Amino acid sequence: MKNSKPRPKNLISSSVITVIVISLAVCILLIVRSIYAPSSPTDSATEISRVESANNDAALIDTNASIKVPNITAERAAERAFYKKKFAKMAKNFTFAKDDFQDKGWYTHKNFGKKAARRKTLKAHVREDGFIYLESQFYGNDWIFHNHIKVKVGSLYLSSPKIESYNKNNKQQYEGDTFWENVYYRETGDNGIIQAIADSTSKPVKVRFEGRKFNRDIVLTAEEKQSIKDSYELSVVLKKINP
């Protein structure tokens, strides 16, 4: 039996190289297919949504660009001019007082002047920036030392805060047999009394001065109610001019 001849070395090497080349070709083919393979339906939907969103954003930017921004400064100037004209007509019914030690002056209705000095009444005072406060004035031949009031406007009942007689906003004075008690609700507010009267001048307004032991009642006249309403409206206008 004859011995078989060994294979040449160069033949073995070429076979190995062939295998390696085929393997590389297969790998390259798989990579190319993964890159150029069509996307899944989910991926396609995501991409479409992304494109539509971008288009919508572009449309929104274009729409906003076409909207004119209002000129706030011009509108505010026009509003102030309107209220200044209104104020000029209303101011004729008021006196204005300001001294060298005050930053702001005060408007007082002309009906609250000498005519109201010797009567039980309610008054309203308006500062030039629109702040308003109520005053209750008792007048009589004896003290009652009132420290607050109760008001009935139509069927509505209201009560002011209490200002005790030792408070700087509760003042008493007399002249012979005549006595005055003036209570100023400028620091406490009036619990809506001014506005209630201003909103209901056609309704009867009854006021009770609550004293230590005694009470006194009055009914506001049409003139007094109108004066309070005018004062309230002046306050509103001044606040529009001086925000």
pLDDT, tens digit, 9 for 90 and up, residues 162-190:
999 999 999 999 999 999 999 999 999 99
pLDDT, tens digit, 9 for 90 and up, residues 184-195:
999 999 999 999
pLDDT at 1 over 50: no
pLDDT on residue 22: 72
Backbone angles phi, psi at 107, to 5 degrees: -105, 130
Burial status of residue 66 (CB atoms within 10 A of its CB: 0-12, 13-18, 19 or more) = exposed
Helical spans, DSSP H, in the chain: 9-36, 41-66, 72-90, 193-199, 222-241
In 3D, which of 117, 94, 115, 123 has the Cα closest to residue 106? Answer: 94
pLDDT, tens digit, 9 for 90 and up, residues 52-69:
555 555 455 445 444 555
- Say whether 195 sits in a helix, a strand or coil: helix
- Say whether 184 sits in a helix, a strand or coil: strand
pLDDT, tens digit, 9 for 90 and up, residues 108-129:
999 998 778 889 999 999 999 9
Instruction: Say if CB 150 and CB 157 are below 8 A apart.
Output: yes
